[in-house]
């Protein structure tokens, strides 16, 4: 089989037939490059789509033999495929070039690129920054790990790209080719894929390689870049900013977004709520300024942008109890951010709904904000018992049979002024197709309690 592939000059393999793999196929087809597909699943979900669109492309399906990729010049690796896969390890050792969609995209992009990563908040910042660019009347391509795969965004008419990157996508990045790079925060995530926080941290920091400007969170030491002084840096944070950086200033009892000593707008006028979202707003301003976006247009966007679905989304207020959908809170760090964000501004306590697949996380990190802000935790899903054990002694805990059961119990225990917060701190795949379905289930359950 390999001899035939080499003879027909099909020297590129795409590993993985998900959204990224198909975007790579569309891109390679558009520039006249041949390729083959490889997927370790015998029946990938999008197999019929691939066969229909690429009837002449060879498919290598099922468990990978270790020598499967040795006959290729380069392999485009989808982010869902671990680089520890033996076939990829063997290929790399034999000099086969492993690349991701990031490298293909950066090679072709003709407009400035902003790349954004972080354990939490990156989708909000990416989307918000895209809206800011549109307010400046720029043609902008927004996507990557969020929404449209970046290779599908390539368009010579675009004047700016805003790209969200996951740690998986960053693992193969060696040069961001002059992009403006932002690292929002780092907290343990995907510990089922990484050997530890250090390895995850190293993947995230690859976003700084070859960047022309870098933005980091000065309140999170793990985001501090180790770069030469020739690379221009600035920062954001929820404290008082230094000259040229973004933060908060108190003036006569009112908080203001600020750049250095310049007050920009009152925090109260920012449409997205919660202190974690104020940090996201500051990050977007810092990245937008680095890209030359007009400040007034960015500030006007902050007054109207209300956030993404399932990311601290206000669903309803019932009997003066607010229901918040943060189904995208798929790791402990995201849930801590949501608890602090709403707990800091809540006169009453929170009722936390959490649970799912824990991804081998340390749930003890939830203890401090739960003890401070949460009056009850309603836990469901595969690792509910693990979370319950970690929270023992911090708050009242109830184990629930389902998300619907958790909402019903939260509703029954909520008092006027409370906030019911779905922020699972877990992946959703034990019970749902993804965080979106989990969020919709929560919203339907909220509606059911008043039906």
The 8-class DSSP code of residue 154 comes to -
For residues 321 and 317, what is the distance between their CA atoms, to the nearest angstrom? 5
pLDDT score of 437: 97
pLDDT score of 322: 92
pLDDT score of 449: 87
**Exactly one of 120, 122, 280, 409 is catalytic; which is it?**
122
The pLDDT tens digits for 263-307 are: 999 999 999 988 999 999 999 999 999 999 999 999 999 999 988
Last residue of a domain, one of 304, 337, 368: 304
For residues 222 and 202, what is the distance between their CA atoms, to the nearest angstrom? 10
**Phi/psi at 218 (nearest 5 deg)?**
-70, -15
**Exactly one of 131, 158, 190, 310 is catalytic; which is it?**
190
**232 is annotated as an active-site residue:** no
Q: Are residues 63 and 128 in the same domain?
A: no
| Number of domains making up the chain | 3
The pLDDT tens digits for 312-362 are: 888 999 999 999 999 999 999 899 989 998 887 666 689 999 999 998 999
**33 is annotated as an active-site residue:** no
Query: What's the CATH code of the domain at 236?
Result: 3.40.1190.10
pLDDT score of 195: 85
pLDDT at 136 over 90: yes
Q: Are residues 294 and 157 in the same domain?
A: yes
pLDDT score of 348: 62
Position 4 confidence tier, pLDDT thresholds 50, 70, 90: very low
Q: Which residues pair with 115 in a beta bridge?
A: 163, 181
Range of the domain at 249: 103-304
Span of 160-164, 214-218, 342-346 with lowest mean pLDDT: 342-346
For residues 371 and 390, what is the distance between their CA atoms, to the nearest angstrom? 12
pLDDT score of 7: 36
Q: Are residues 81 and 138 in the same domain?
A: no
Distances (CA, A) of 393 to 73, 364, 366, 397: 57, 12, 12, 9
Q: Are residues 234 and 140 in the same domain?
A: yes
pLDDT score of 6: 37
pLDDT score of 191: 67
DSSP 291-311: TT--HHHHHHHHHH----TTS
**314 is annotated as an active-site residue:** no
Last residue of a domain, one of 304, 327, 352: 304
For the segment 59-84, the average pLDDT, to the nearest whole number, is 96
Q: Are residues 80 and 115 in the same domain?
A: no
Q: Are residues 114 and 135 in the same domain?
A: yes
Q: How many CA atoms lie within 13 A of 284 on its CB side?
A: 34
Q: Regarding predicted confidence, which is higher, 177 or 308?
A: 177
Average pLDDT over the chain reads: 94
pLDDT score of 346: 60
Query: What's the CATH code of the domain at 84?
Result: 3.40.50.720
Rg (CA), the chain: 23
pLDDT score of 189: 78
Is residue 328 within 8 Å of 334, Cβ to Cβ?
yes
How does strand 254-259 pair with strand 246-251? antiparallel
Q: Are residues 95 and 115 in the same domain?
A: no
Position 2 confidence tier, pLDDT thresholds 50, 70, 90: very low
Span of 28-42, 177-191, 435-449 with lowest mean pLDDT: 177-191
Burial class (CB in 10 A: 0-12, 13-18, 19+), 347: exposed
pLDDT score of 347: 61
Q: Are residues 296 and 169 in the same domain?
A: yes
**Exactly one of 145, 216, 277, 280 is catalytic; which is it?**
145
The 8-class DSSP code of residue 131 comes to H
Give the contacts of 48 (CB within 8 A, at least 6 positions apart).
none
Distances (CA, A) of 396 to 75, 167, 186, 366, 376: 51, 35, 29, 14, 5
Position 123 confidence tier, pLDDT thresholds 50, 70, 90: very high
pLDDT score of 140: 98
Last residue of a domain, one of 34, 64, 99: 99
Q: Are residues 283 and 347 in the same domain?
A: no
For residues 177 and 179, what is the distance between their CA atoms, to the nearest angstrom? 6
For residues 298 and 16, what is the distance between their CA atoms, to the nearest angstrom? 38
Q: Give the SS3 label for residue 444.
A: helix
The pLDDT tens digits for 353-406 are: 999 999 899 999 999 999 999 999 999 999 999 999 999 999 999 999 999 999
Position 3 confidence tier, pLDDT thresholds 50, 70, 90: very low
Q: Are residues 62 and 120 in the same domain?
A: no
């Amino acid at each position: 089989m390999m001899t035939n592939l080499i003879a027909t000059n099909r020297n590129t393999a795409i590993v993985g037939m998900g959204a990224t793999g198909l975007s790579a196929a569309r891109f390679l087809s558009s520039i006249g490059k041949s390729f083959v597909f490889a997927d370790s699943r015998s029946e990938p979900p999008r197999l019929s789509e691939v066969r229909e669109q690429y009837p002449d492309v060879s498919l290598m399906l099922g468990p990978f033999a270790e020598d499967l990729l040795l006959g290729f010049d380069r392999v485009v690796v989808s982010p869902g495929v671990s680089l520890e896969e033996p076939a990829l390890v063997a290929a790399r050792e034999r000099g086969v070039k492993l690349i991701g969609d990031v490298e293909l995209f950066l090679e072709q992009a003709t407009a400035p690129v902003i790349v954004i990563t972080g354990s939490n908040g990156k989708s909000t910042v990416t989307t918000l920054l895209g809206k800011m660019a549109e307010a400046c009347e720029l043609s902008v391509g927004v996507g990557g790990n969020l929404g449209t795969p970046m290779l599908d965004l390539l368009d010579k008419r675009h004047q700016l790209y805003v790209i969200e990157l996951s740690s998986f996508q960053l693992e193969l990045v060696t040069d961001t080719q002059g992009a403006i790079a932002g690292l929002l925060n780092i907290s343990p995530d995907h510990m089922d894929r990484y050997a530890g926080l250090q390895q995850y941290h190293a993947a995230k920091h690859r976003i700084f390689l070859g960047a022309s400007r870098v933005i980091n969170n000065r309140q999170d030491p793990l985001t501090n870049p180790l770069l030469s002084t020739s690379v221009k840096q600035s920062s954001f944070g929820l404290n008082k900013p230094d000259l040229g950086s973004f933060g908060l200033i108190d003036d006569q009892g009112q908080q203001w977004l600020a750049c250095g000593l310049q007050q920009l707008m009152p925090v109260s006028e920012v449409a997205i709520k919660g202190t974690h979202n104020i940090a996201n707003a500051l990050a977007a301003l810092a990245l937008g300024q680095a890209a030359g976006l007009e400040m007034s247009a960015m500030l006007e966007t902050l007054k109207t942008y209300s956030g993404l679905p399932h990311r601290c989304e206000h669903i309803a207020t019932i009997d003066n109890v607010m229901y918040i959908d943060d189904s995208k809170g798929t790791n402990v760090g995201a849930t801590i951010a949501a608890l602090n964000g709403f707990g800091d501004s809540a006169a009453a306590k929170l009722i936390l709904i959490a649970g799912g697949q824990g991804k081998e996380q340390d749930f003890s990190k939830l203890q401090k904000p739960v003890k401070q802000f949460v009056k009850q935790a309603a836990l469901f899903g595969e690792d509910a018992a693990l979370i319950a054990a970690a929270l023992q002694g911090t708050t009242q805990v109830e184990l629930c049979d389902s998300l619907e059961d958790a909402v019903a119990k939260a509703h029954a225990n909520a008092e006027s002024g409370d906030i019911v917060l779905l922020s699972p701190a877990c992946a959703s795949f034990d019970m749902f197709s993804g965080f979106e379905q989990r969020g919709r289930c929560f919203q339907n359950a909220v509606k059911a309690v008043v039906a």
